[in-house]
Amino acid sequence: MVIGPLTTSEVLGAKQFVDENDIVIVAPASSGIPGAIPDDNIFRVMYPPDTYAGQAFAEIVKQRGYENIAILAVDDPFGNGLADFFTKLFTENGGKEVSVVKYAPEPADLSGEAAKVSSEIARLKETGETAFFAIAFLGDMQKFLQQAVTDETLGSVDWLGVENLVNEDILGDPAHAAFLSKVGLTSVSFADKQNPNTQPFIDAFMAKYEGAEPGPFTNYAYDAANIAMLSILSAGNDGKAVKAMLPFISDHYIGTAFQAHLDENGDQAIAYYTIFKLNPEGLNSPRSAVMTARPGKSPWKSSTLTPRPGRV
């Protein structure tokens, strides 16, 4: 059994070896659509695949009436999978055109990509209401913003962004914060649901690590490890037996945030999403009972979306 790795690229890099050698991977945070594969040795037990987020973004775009979308996407399974899935839904919903500008992982800067996206936005705006969608990691978007803040075209449309961008670090530069407020950055992020296991985990973690709060995906890794251990206790130290037993264990496991119920691909099948929009007032103004994940005041305001049962 292996708990991890973190990203879909890393998970897929290990896939052939673990499948051939009866090793089971329990991945706590991988969500890339290319990782949704039936009957393999990879189980993504906590974080749902990006098909759910793609559906949410497509519905936001439809409701707002955007006719064209310019996308900046990291060129890896996560970025390409979500960009392709979103494009398919956008087209099915009657959208006109999606233009995708890709960038290589871990870029030194994104000045060239920023210029390309700006040019595409200018072109797309000639044929209808246009928005920008960032499928990128936090550090990469901070590099992109260095160019965006001085580009009138990039600042002339609404911005959407993946969950990595719901992070106060992106607002550390006052110029970046002012720019993102102007473009109304909107994001979709998986929403933890409080249950009786939530606070005891946080309390135990902070007691163990001298007051440090759990980081992103820490509780998912904890739950993934528990599912793995319970599967071994039930099936023994045998890869094939564990693979057969793990879905049953996972489907009945209530974790630190929610139940880990798996679909036919061995992926989390229950999804709750919060829609975040940057709040110019810098206050936490939830439009529903579900608050932002961070305690205290937040520069994000939130509402909650739950995909309909039975839908991807």
Question: Lowest mean pLDDT: which of 109-118, 186-195, 284-293?
Answer: 284-293
CATH architecture, domain defined by 51-185: 3-Layer(aba) Sandwich (3.40)
Rounded to the nearest 5°, which phi and psi values hold at 153?
Answer: -70, -45
Q: What is the H or E stretch that residue 278 is in?
A: strand 273-278
Dihedral sign for Cα atoms in the order 204, 210, 212, 218: negative
Q: Please give the structure tokens belonging to residue 231.
A: 């599967």
Beta-ladder partners of 100: 71
Per-residue pLDDT at 301 exceeds 90: no
- Tell me whether strands 42-44 and 97-103 are parallel, antiparallel or unpaired: unpaired
- Tell me whether strands 273-278 and 300-305 are parallel, antiparallel or unpaired: antiparallel
Question: Lowest mean pLDDT: which of 64-68, 87-91, 211-215?
Answer: 211-215
pLDDT (average), residues 78-94: 96
Those residues whose C-beta lies under 8 Å from the C-beta of residue 36, and which sit 6 or more positions away, are: 49, 51, 265, 267
SS3 state of residue 71: strand
Domain boundaries, the chain: 51-185
The reported pLDDT for the residue numbered 291 is 28
- pLDDT tens for each residue of 245-262: 999 999 999 999 888 999
Cβ distance 190 to 48 under 8 Å?
A: yes
Per-residue pLDDT at 113 exceeds 60: yes
Bond before 5 cis per omega within 30 degrees: yes
25-27 sheet: strands from edge to edge? 2-3, 25-27, 42-44
